[in-house]
Structure 1
Amino acid sequence: MKYTIVLYPAPSVSQLVSMVELGKLILHHYHHLFSITVLIPTTPLHNPSTTSYIHRISQTNPSIVFHHLPSLPPHKSNLNPVAAAFESIRRNIPNVHHALQTISTSSTIPAFITSTSFSDYSDLKIPTYYFFSSGASALAAILYLPTTHDLFTKSFKDIPATPLHIPGLPPILASHMPQPLLDRSNPAYNEFLQLATHLPKAQGIIVNTFESLEPRALKAIADRLPVYGVGPMTANAQDRTHASGNDLGNGAECLSWLDAQPKQSVVFLCFGSQGKFSTPQLKEIATGLERSGHRFLWVVRSGEDSEFGSLLPEGFLDRTREKGLVVKSWAPQAAVLSRESVAGFVTHCGWNSILEAVCAGVPMVAWPLYAEQHLNRVILVEEMKVAMAMEEGEDGLVSAVEIEKRLRALMDLEEGTILRERCMQTREAALATWAEGGSSVVALNQLAELWKGG
């Protein structure tokens, strides 16, 4: 008898992709036991790139079924995007409940896995698990939120230099907590506070990490509730970034250029789908790159439709033509990181990017921008020791001097050599986690035994 595992992602494309990767992982190991159904809210996930992604996955993974929830009626709200997403989740609870009832009439559901705010479906007698697509360290910080909420009366943004002592983590400055948690008056803060309060009701928490990468954070969570590290899971670059035809052409150019460069000679700079910089910051990056003297591949995202050459220092592209390649909007990040010519990665510290670098054994320069990325930087530098930190100035800009300094340290100095050796060890550990007896294999087997009633 086959069982249906139902996945319900939070309303964002990145969460959908992460959930599908979890579904593919389950099917890869247990296709003879389980099928996968993914619940899709019509809004705000519904857009052309989502539609094409779902079609592509349906064609290549027919055991993954997408179940579209009914449309929600229009809802006027002045909430910020994070709080609005939580509100959408709350309004969809009756639709999710009905979908689970419907699926249950023709199949047994041994697990309902959600990355949304935790809701109680106990009346359906379906075990509910929570999937956290970022790291265990960020999860530990969220789970500790009720404690910090009681310890302090001010918002984290108002006590920025106060160190927080969260179990399983090095000391974290209050200002480095995940962005939605910085302001108590932000409705999203209360949503995460409720999430942290309700997560202990879950049958378990599934995290996209592995034991040797975040041992202290995983142990701290495991001391309180069941947690399963089943990473590293990284999506295909095209799936994750929804590249267009033009983008794929740029991708081929990037890889050809990299293959023509000497081994361990190129610094790769890429800042995620939302990593856009002001013109002054772009010019500081360009100046720092040029002064470092090193080869580089730089992905530039700009809010303007003009040629990005006009946003950079005059003559920069011509002067660096022999040593650098600047591409607009997109590059096949996982493929780039796997190239022998790539020696370092300047990253915004998004979790998917971190895992891709870890799996490729590429050391990082950590330049966080939003979400939980400032916390990730602390973990990368102080806990995992696979990155060095890029430091902002008082005006919020990272100077050309700082950029040049970090690139030279990464590429020329002993500090970079030590970091590179550490990253290769971490890469081996990442590969070992999916070998027989590896920690992620063990964790997934434990879940499968629970789901099949073993």
Structure 2
Amino acid sequence: MGGDQGALPASARPHVVLLCSPCMGHLIPFAELARRLVADHGLAATLLFAAATDTPSEQYASLAASIPDGVSLVALPAPPADALPPTAPVRERAVHAAMSSVRHVREISQSLASTAPLAALVVDMVSVPARDVATELGVPCYMFFTSPWMLLSLFLHLPELDAGLVGEYRDATEPIRLPGCVPIHAHELPGALLVDRSSESYAGFLSMAKDAARVDGILVNTSRDLEPGVGDGTDGVTKLPAVHAVGPLVWTRPAGVNRDHSRVIPWLDQQPRGSVVFLSFGSGGTLTSRQTTELALALEMTRCRFVWVVKRPDEATASGAFFGTRQGEEDLGFLPRGFVERTSGVGLVLPSWAPQTAILAHASVGCFVTHCGWNSSLESILNGVPMVAWPLYAEQKMNAAMLEVQAGVAVRVRADAGGFFSREEIASVIRRVMDEEEGASMRKRVSELRDKAGQALTKDGSSALALAQVTDRWRSSSTGEK
């Protein structure tokens, strides 16, 4: 793949500029896409991160330290701290940072274009407004959709759903049925669709969905084995761009190791195969104090070995760490009194962050309690680990439904009428997945998906070929070849 471009010096290779909004969950697959463009397709890649805060998060610093040669990662200046109130919603802050980055994208792209052919601009769902830079420079603009096809399909169909809907989404009694997707029930929709349709929040989401159709093509981080219906309902629709499944792209390069990380793997080495429950709610997810306590007590009830990546509780939002955690968040005083001591023989509690891919790849891990962020879901599948699905925000409830109902690799934890997850329910679902007999079919299914997903990324796999076709098109247009 990539012809003989790999023989060219880096400075002469066609250059791809990638722009990622300030979402760590987007940056991780963007980094892997950039790596593959360089390593597999003979292109040069500059990855721009539209920072929302001046101080890099621990997660960003770790990823930046493991970026391979040939990929340039640049954190763009954050917008002024007083540009938005500190209480502004996460999506509003992300959109503002992306919009503020456009002038920097223009300057950097123009500078790169003066030394080598510019092949394409790749943006995420939040930073599509930077498409104007691609138009000015005469290069294609593609969107890299870092969530599953199911959400992309909802995005692409939202304008017509909106036009035909009477009332509010949250009051709908019938699920939304999209081509090739499991039915989406009202309570599984992203929060931005559950507010009043007259609100600014909904208007912003609808605008973002309409923007998704303004690009020249869409790369989506999934594969046909994971989501057989990818692309359904878009073929032959002139207003919708072509969709290319190029995943699952996850970041597997070794991360920086700190004191906590260095003790995880040796501890896992001492545990029996498939005996450990791994719990993490991603780079952004947070629980309330009451829910954190309930989860801790549930872990004690299961008597399972565990590794728990725990963050400081947040009473106001489930995405309290969305823009990253800071160094020094090591005080675990918010856990139930005596919990760490009582579980010291069977569990490890890690504050805020951990080498997730290395943990999921370990043979002793038998179950992953996850918020169902798409990166975490893909990492779990690629390592053959079944999931306990505990979605928190964004499209995670949709992901959980797809993973349980369609893929058959997860079991959802069920909340009570007040949205609270009881210790009995949590413990019961963990036991079901860890049980040798009951969890057997899920382990078999996830192993099959692991093998198929890995195959999609090999040289002649469906996802690798799809990306090769796109990059060949970019290269041809940038160098004037036919």
Q: 2:404 aligns with which of 381, 391, 397?
A: 381
Q: Which residue of 2 aligns with 1:308?
A: 332
> Is residue 277 of structure 2 the alignment partner of residue 295 of structure 1?
no
SS in 1 for 2:17: strand
Q: Which residue of 1 aligns with 2:55?
A: 47
After TM superposition, list the pairs within 5 Å mapping 1:51-66 onto structure 2: 52=61, 56=65, 60-61=68-69, 63-66=70-73
Asked if 1 retains the 8 angstrom alpha-carbon contact of 2:17 and 2:45, the reply is: yes
> Is residue 202 of structure 2 the alignment partner of residue 189 of structure 1?
yes
In 1, the alpha carbon distance for the partners of 2:112 and 2:39 equals 22
Asked if 2 retains the 8 angstrom alpha-carbon contact of 1:160 and 1:175, the reply is: no
| Structure 1 runs of 4+ with >6 Å offset | none
Q: 1:172 aligns with which of 184, 197, 202?
A: 184
The code of the aligned residue for 1:279 comes to S
Higher relative contact order (CA 8 A, sep 6+): 2
In 2, the alpha carbon distance for the partners of 1:213 and 1:353 equals 14
Q: Which residue of 2 aligns with 1:420?
A: 443
* Aligned-residue offset at 1:369: 0.6
Relative to 1, partners in 2 of residues 1:415 and 1:401: Cα closer, same or farther, differing over 3 Å? same
In 1, the alpha carbon distance for the partners of 2:399 and 2:104 equals 35
Residue identity over aligned pairs, in percent, reads 33
> Is residue 270 of structure 2 the alignment partner of residue 263 of structure 1?
no
In 2, the alpha carbon distance for the partners of 1:216 and 1:273 equals 29
In 2, the alpha carbon distance for the partners of 1:37 and 1:54 equals 15
After TM superposition, list the pairs within 5 Å mapping 1:195-206 onto structure 2: 195-206=208-219
* Aligned-residue offset at 1:320: 3.1
After superposing the two structures, state which structure 1 stretch, 436-445 or 73-82, moved more.
73-82
> Is residue 45 of structure 2 the alignment partner of residue 36 of structure 1?
yes
Q: 1:330 aligns with which of 345, 350, 353?
A: 353
Deviations 1:393-424 (A, max 9, x none): 11221111101211221122633111011011
The code of the aligned residue for 1:256 comes to P
Q: Which residue of 1 aligns with 2:21?
A: 10
The code of the aligned residue for 2:154 comes to A
SS in 2 for 1:216: coil
SS in 1 for 2:438: helix
Asked if 1 retains the 8 angstrom alpha-carbon contact of 2:78 and 2:97, the reply is: no
> Is residue 245 of structure 2 the alignment partner of residue 232 of structure 1?
no
After TM superposition, list the pairs within 5 Å mapping 1:275-294 onto structure 2: 275-294=285-304
> Is residue 144 of structure 2 the alignment partner of residue 131 of structure 1?
yes
In 2, the alpha carbon distance for the partners of 1:341 and 1:52 equals 28
Q: Which residue of 1 aligns with 2:160?
A: 147
Deviations 1:213-271 (A, max 9, x none): 111133344564311222121124765xxx6x6xx221222211111111111111111
SS in 1 for 2:350: strand
The code of the aligned residue for 1:259 comes to D
The code of the aligned residue for 2:245 comes to G
> Is residue 470 of structure 2 the alignment partner of residue 447 of structure 1?
yes
Asked if 2 retains the 8 angstrom alpha-carbon contact of 1:337 and 1:357, the reply is: yes
In 1, the alpha carbon distance for the partners of 2:252 and 2:303 equals 32
* Aligned-residue offset at 1:352: 0.8
* Aligned-residue offset at 1:67: 5.7
Asked if 1 retains the 8 angstrom alpha-carbon contact of 2:286 and 2:313, the reply is: yes
The code of the aligned residue for 2:72 comes to V
Relative to 1, partners in 2 of residues 1:237 and 1:299: Cα closer, same or farther, differing over 3 Å? farther
Which has the larger helix fraction? Answer: 1
* Aligned-residue offset at 1:38: 2.6
In 1, the alpha carbon distance for the partners of 2:103 and 2:338 equals 58
Asked if 1 retains the 8 angstrom alpha-carbon contact of 2:370 and 2:387, the reply is: yes
Structure 2 unmatched runs, 5+: 1-11, 315-328, 477-481
The code of the aligned residue for 1:229 comes to A
After superposing the two structures, state which structure 1 stretch, 46-55 or 256-265, moved more.
46-55
In 2, the alpha carbon distance for the partners of 1:297 and 1:160 equals 40
Relative to 1, partners in 2 of residues 1:382 and 1:221: Cα closer, same or farther, differing over 3 Å? farther
Asked if 2 retains the 8 angstrom alpha-carbon contact of 1:161 and 1:175, the reply is: no
In 1, the alpha carbon distance for the partners of 2:349 and 2:28 equals 27
After superposing the two structures, state which structure 1 stretch, 120-129 or 221-230, moved more.
221-230
Asked if 2 retains the 8 angstrom alpha-carbon contact of 1:366 and 1:388, the reply is: yes
After superposing the two structures, state which structure 1 stretch, 115-124 or 413-422, moved more.
115-124
In 1, the alpha carbon distance for the partners of 2:294 and 2:432 equals 18
* Aligned-residue offset at 1:166: 2.0
After TM superposition, list the pairs within 5 Å mapping 1:389-428 onto structure 2: 389-412=412-435, 414-428=437-451
Q: Which residue of 1 aligns with 2:8?
A: none
In 1, the alpha carbon distance for the partners of 2:78 and 2:353 equals 32
Q: Which residue of 2 aligns with 1:113?
A: 122
SS in 1 for 2:232: helix
In 1, the alpha carbon distance for the partners of 2:187 and 2:199 equals 15
> Is residue 263 of structure 2 the alignment partner of residue 253 of structure 1?
yes
Asked if 2 retains the 8 angstrom alpha-carbon contact of 1:211 and 1:218, the reply is: no
Asked if 2 retains the 8 angstrom alpha-carbon contact of 1:37 and 1:66, the reply is: yes
Asked if 2 retains the 8 angstrom alpha-carbon contact of 1:5 and 1:112, the reply is: yes
* Aligned-residue offset at 1:185: 4.4
Asked if 1 retains the 8 angstrom alpha-carbon contact of 2:156 and 2:213, the reply is: no
Relative to 1, partners in 2 of residues 1:207 and 1:54: Cα closer, same or farther, differing over 3 Å? same
